[in-house]
Amino acid sequence: MKLRYSCLILDHDDTAVDSTAEIHYPAHVEVMKRLRPDHIPVNLENWFRRNFHPGIMDFLRVELKFTEDEIQQEYQVWREYTASIIPKFYGGFLDVIQEFKRRGGVVAVVSHSEVDVIKKHYEVETNGTPFSPDIIYGWTVDEEKRKPHPYPVDQILRKYNLKTDEVLVVDDLKPGVEMAKAAGVPIAAAGWAHQIPEIRDYMKKNCDVYLSSIKEFEDYVLN
């Protein structure tokens, strides 16, 4: 059966793996304990909101007023957590993308996590079997080369000689939407990770399709 899209451009955190609750938020709590011990951290739901808007770096620099030295300390704590904790993939997610790839589709990842971390998650979950994304764009200090900028999508289109209507970005937050729109490609909302009303409403309004479960994701990209 012909695939609806030739390439999936997948977010990683809270699209493929349940990592905010397992890694990123606990890391933030530890950062606050070390750098702002008198400041009560936001709760998990509001941490999702800050990642949605204004974005993690603006939250750290503007709201929390972290210095550049503190940003570096925050990064080191984050690396401690990402290096030591392996989050679980959402049930059925790997089955969908493995079948997509088996049918000849290209599986790409564009994430704010680092490439080595993403590769490790796939390697552990698949027990060292050959499956892995075809290409991964992760965190880089060059803002112009990471979400929400279109650079990763543009590179994927060029590398695989794809038209804009042949790829689908799948993401759970605003940076992925803005990246997809800037690149002129379709965007699907990964609605299975969280149900925060303002995020859900934004994604429903601004995405081409809202997928509320892995089953809906499967049906949309494979059937």
Q: Each residue of 63-83: pLDDT tens digit? A: 999 999 999 999 999 999 998
The last residue of one of the domains, among 65, 84, 103, is 84
33 and 114 both lie in a single domain: no
Which domain range does residue 60 map to? 20-84
102 and 198 both lie in a single domain: yes
Lowest model confidence (mean pLDDT) among 99-103, 139-143, 162-166: 139-143
Query: Does residue 1 fall inside a structural domain?
Result: no
pLDDT reported for residue 86 = 93
pLDDT tier for residue 127 given thresholds of 50, 70 and 90 = low
Query: Does residue 2 fall inside a structural domain?
Result: no
Identity of the residue numbered 176: G
In angstroms, rounded to a whole number, what is the distance separating the alpha carbons of residues 154 and 179?
Answer: 10
pLDDT tier for residue 124 given thresholds of 50, 70 and 90 = confident
125 and 31 both lie in a single domain: no
Instruction: Give pLDDT tens digits for 25-58.
Output: 999 999 999 999 999 999 999 999 998 888 888 9
- pLDDT at 128 > cutoff 70: no
| Per-residue CA distances from 121 to 19, 48, 130, 179 (Å) | 11, 21, 13, 24
Identity of the residue numbered 96: V
Say how many Å lie between the first and final Cα of the chain, rounded. 8
